[in-house]
Structure 1
């Protein structure tokens, strides 16, 4: 049911970031002090957004869908660029974005949302997308899947 509410991964990312803010506002907080936390979070944020944009561009360049809600509409199996290193670079980008948000929040407890994102992203998006891609591209996807890891 919740997967339908969070049809798009960006909705889950926004919810997690809002929850982190909420935890800080209501005092569910355990201060963490990291040296260079602003620099580290800026690098993670920039890297995450860059990965999302580059991976999204690869879909647009291949003239196939970038919509995770309709992976069966994919017309091309993108296996080059970032997709030659990871089967799910956009989710890695989202994870880095959330990691940056966690570090900048300064709240150790918010780190709980990182494994939660991985769990939900796998269950709600990655596994259904891979099942749909296997159905659409059959042997091509299985060959790609055997050569390239997911990394999330």
Structure 2
């Protein structure tokens, strides 16, 4: 007989991985589009710049994790083999989530969604409570003092 995990967040984590949370917020941006908040070329250029930097953060970090042969799957943080502290990880302990936050903001700016831009802290809080807290606890268990020293040096977001 299979035991149920007592942590209710486990089920939520499985059903709401970070990319799904991002898509939900981006859909909200699209649903709250308001042309009054769009300054055509400025909004488009700003959103493109933010999206480009954010996508570079995500892709470079994914490449870095792959090159260190460690997991990218936030649902399996316990499978992490290496504590990566270089590259984007020198700026943020969560560069992929930071990049996702940038994509959400870029979408809100592009759509002229004031509620979407204002929801950015809610997106960041949802990701932090559902995923980052769990992942960082797993990393602390796995890497001990190395993790603690790294976490003291580098901020969670920026």
TM-score normalised according to structure 1 size: 0.89
Q: Assess if the C-alpha contact under 8 Å between 1:31 and 1:107 holds in 2.
A: no
Aligned residue among 55, 70, 77 for 2:83: 77
Structure 1 equivalent of residue 37 of structure 2 = 32
* 1:15-72 deviation digits (Å, cap 9, x = unpaired): 1111222234xxxx58314461110000111111110000111100101001111111
- Aligned residue pairs, count: 147
| 1:19 and 2:28 are equivalent in the alignment | yes
CA-CA distance at 1:151 after TM superposition: 1.8
CA RMSD of aligned residues (A): 1.6
* 1:82-116 deviation digits (Å, cap 9, x = unpaired): 11121111111001101110001112122232111
Q: Assess if the C-alpha contact under 8 Å between 1:85 and 1:148 holds in 2.
A: yes
CA-CA distance at 1:148 after TM superposition: 1.1
TM-score normalised according to structure 2 size: 0.86
Work out the CA distance in 2 between the residues paired with 1:89 and 1:106: 25
Work out the CA distance in 2 between the residues paired with 1:113 and 1:15: 11
**Unaligned stretches of 5+ residues in structure 2:** 1-10
Q: How does 1:24-103 map to 2 (within 5 A)?
A: 24=33, 29=34, 31-34=36-39, 36-103=42-109
